[in-house]
Amino acid sequence: MGSIGLVTPQQMHFSEPLPLKSGAALVDYTLVYETYGTLNADRSNAVLVCHALNASHHVAGRHGDGTLGWWDNLVGPGKPLDTERFFVIGVNNPGSCFGSTGPTHVNPATGGHYGADFPVVTVEDWVDAQVRLVQRLGIEQLAAVLGGSLGGMQALDWSLRHPTLLRHCVAVATAPNLSAQNIAFNEVARRAIVTDPDFHGGHYLAQGTLPQRGLRVARMIGHITYLSDDAMEARFGRELKAVDGRLGYTTQDIEFQIESYLRHQGDKFSAYFDANTYLLITRALDYFDPALPHGGSLTRAFAAALGKRFLLVSFTTDWRFSPARSREIVKALVDNRIDVSYAEIDAPHGHDAFLLDDPRYHAVMRAYFDRIGEQA
Amino acid sequence: MGSIGLVTPQQMHFSEPLPLKSGAALVDYTLVYETYGTLNADRSNAVLVCHALNASHHVAGRHGDGTLGWWDNLVGPGKPLDTERFFVIGVNNPGSCFGSTGPTHVNPATGGHYGADFPVVTVEDWVDAQVRLVQRLGIEQLAAVLGGSLGGMQALDWSLRHPTLLRHCVAVATAPNLSAQNIAFNEVARRAIVTDPDFHGGHYLAQGTLPQRGLRVARMIGHITYLSDDAMEARFGRELKAVDGRLGYTTQDIEFQIESYLRHQGDKFSAYFDANTYLLITRALDYFDPALPHGGSLTRAFAAALGKRFLLVSFTTDWRFSPARSREIVKALVDNRIDVSYAEIDAPHGHDAFLLDDPRYHAVMRAYFDRIGEQA
């Protein structure tokens, strides 16, 4: 398997306003994206990759500063999503803090940062923005839309609201909506951010501050939910930080390795992630609920995807979006006689498994994309 | 089943310093306690009830302000722990904010509040303090020590370090130590408190402030872990706060009922609970690990409890201290040929189930205490 090598993000500007689900509109915005591989003559081999909370357009390859794409183990020459066969597009969603127009950008209405005034964006809004990008790239129909977690929700939405624009939907470690517990974790994280005195109602940039305390706590909470209980136990258990194995008997300092790890994750994240983006993205997760307009029936919702083909993948130890949530989607597809392959991977890593290169998982992905490639 | 009626907390002062596991000592302290029922002539019918994080000596009956004891559904005349038969003692642990000497009290060394200078207390320290109280009450051997969650850890510790002072150990919804994930949740809660600018290194009382933002977030996190995913789903699901069912498209205001509920829990808790107490109690949870001095062998640890009798109860949907954790204790007891009854209650409520009056759970408790009573 080769490497994509150096990649350079591209930008596309849109001056036509994007109508949002909330009723507001996003005016005059830019999307940052990357592409890997070559679009074939009949433009039939394009695959769009949708990102989740802490990710971006940088799906694969290497940036000038050495940063590897977040799904580089999956996407590349000879890899399961083979860039020698497919033209792969990674796009950063509006509202992000990684390049596309978002809360840290200038609000044309005020001349200051958007901050908390950035409009609330939904999975559907992101997909609509992606549709415009794909069409501007001259692609009439995608071979597939692929995503994990929140990215999987975007892939599902493509199949529901733009079914003519794709042939396959590949949704990994995702769910048809958030459970009360999922929303609860999001809400605690948001409260940690919003009640940070440095948040200033979301206009912290105008105040020259950053609500890093809140972001740290938010990330620590998130991180616990990304890992399985077992994976955390195997990696950290009750191991102490002190090398001599002696307890310090302290309430404020670190005693256990797991504490050290979580604090480190929180510190790292709070140094680069935007707090308003965190609020926006967790809210997009909360709002996603394709069954809602169908009286709660996921089966009726997926009737819109007739004729599409699906791969769903879940991981046994994922307690954020458990296999049971993926099976709800599988059931809705089967109810509609829609072609679906489903793999439940017995992996120990919890939700994070979708980003790792478990061989059984990648074998499933490879086989499915091989099948798509033969049809492309 | 009758009611205990009005109860008045009592106080006992101890001028002999209590040596702590950390090497420090607690000097000149007071324990607040309550008793229900009557100690019999041969002083053989006393049951000590140990409390968990957000509880106190007020186990049963009613205070003058109407507050019902936290385990009033279990303890009272004709109730599973029958106060017509048993003399029941509830005691508030040192370090608490509910009456016994704790961080909000005056530090004799400085004349100011203890605050963050209150010594770190462990499950073992609490039990040693309880032993002194019980002995001062003229009780040579308890019929039983009972506790749920962190209270269960105290009951286990009695059986391990003071086996001659009790006949039965009743430990509900508990664990032989915290998992990495348990510690992780505690640590996030602590970070939310400690990084609140109003925390002032734990000396907020001297500054005239309270770290209520941090406490709110800590409580919200805790609350999620006390409820099962299913119970939260059944009670709240994705129900909206707005009665007209319309979304507000807001990142900072409440949309879902679960958010409203969690915020309310956080607000309520932060108005009465002390932040330093929260740190101390979560640390006591982290530190408890009776297998540690035995090379990690719980079986070798429980050899100390030979001749004692145990009831362990767990709840199927408790993901904080799952049935698997109780079964570890059961196995260690069985390995030692120690008499143990174990009930795994199929209850939907998660960890909180130990406080509720599920009839199957209470039937087990009643049967076991009846057995103890026949021997008392």
Calpha distance B304→B298 (Å, rounded): 11
At residue A369, does pLDDT exceed 90?
Answer: yes
Between residues 152 and 211 of chain A, which touch chain B (CB distance below 8 Å)? 177-181, 183-185, 187-188, 190-192, 194-197, 201-202
| Option in A180, A229, A238 nearest B289 (CB) | A238
**The two three-digit tokens of residue A351, written as one number:** 């939700």
Instruction: Give A47 to chain B, closest Cα distance, Å.
Output: 31
Q: Which residue of chain B is at minimal alpha-carbon distance from A227?
A: B181
Region class of B249: left (phi > 0), else alpha (psi between -120 and 50), else beta: left
Higher pLDDT, B243 or B121: B121
Model pTM?
0.97
| Option in A202, A250, A262 nearest B120 (CB) | A250
pLDDT by residue (tens digit) across A295-319? 999 999 999 999 999 999 999 999 9
pLDDT confidence of residue A162: 98
At residue B245, does pLDDT exceed 90?
Answer: no
At residue A263, does pLDDT exceed 70?
Answer: yes
Can you tell me the mean pLDDT for A209-219? 98
Can you tell me the mean pLDDT for B248-275? 97
Average pLDDT, chain A: 97
pLDDT confidence of residue A179: 98
- Which residues of A are catalytic, by number? 149, 318, 351
The residue type found at B179 is S
Q: Given pLDDT bands bounded at 50, 70 and 90, which one contains residue A376?
A: low
**The two three-digit tokens of residue A288, written as one number:** 């996603």
pLDDT confidence of residue B298: 98
Calpha distance B134→B129 (Å, rounded): 9
Q: In this complex, is the C-beta atom of B259 within 8 Å of any C-beta atom belonging to chain A?
A: yes
Q: Give the whole-number percent of chain B exceeding pLDDT 90.
A: 98
pLDDT by residue (tens digit) across B323-363? 999 999 999 999 999 999 999 999 999 999 999 999 999 99
CB contact under 8 A, B249 and A280: no
pLDDT by residue (tens digit) across A152-182? 999 999 999 999 999 999 999 999 999 999 9
Question: Which of B238, B270, B286, B319 is the best residue to mutate to test the A interface, defined by the most A CB atoms within 10 Å of its own CB?
Answer: B238
Q: Given pLDDT bands bounded at 50, 70 and 90, which one contains residue B21?
A: very high
Instruction: Give B233 to chain A, closest Cα distance, Å.
Output: 5
pLDDT confidence of residue B5: 94
CB contact under 8 A, B180 and A116: no
Calpha distance A100→A112 (Å, rounded): 17
CB contact under 8 A, A249 and B23: yes
Can you tell me the mean pLDDT for B281-297? 98
CB contact under 8 A, A180 and B256: yes
pLDDT by residue (tens digit) across A318-362? 999 999 999 999 999 999 999 999 999 999 999 999 999 999 999
| Option in B192, B252, B280 nearest A194 (CB) | B252
At residue B193, does pLDDT exceed 80?
Answer: yes
**A92, A114, A120, A107: which is closest to A33 by C-alpha?**
A92
Instruction: Give B236 to chain A, closest Cα distance, Å.
Output: 6
Question: Which of A120, A182, A188 is the best residue to mutate to test the B interface, defined by the most B CB atoms within 10 Å of its own CB?
Answer: A188
pLDDT confidence of residue B376: 62
Q: In this complex, is the C-beta atom of A25 within 8 Å of any C-beta atom belonging to chain B?
A: no
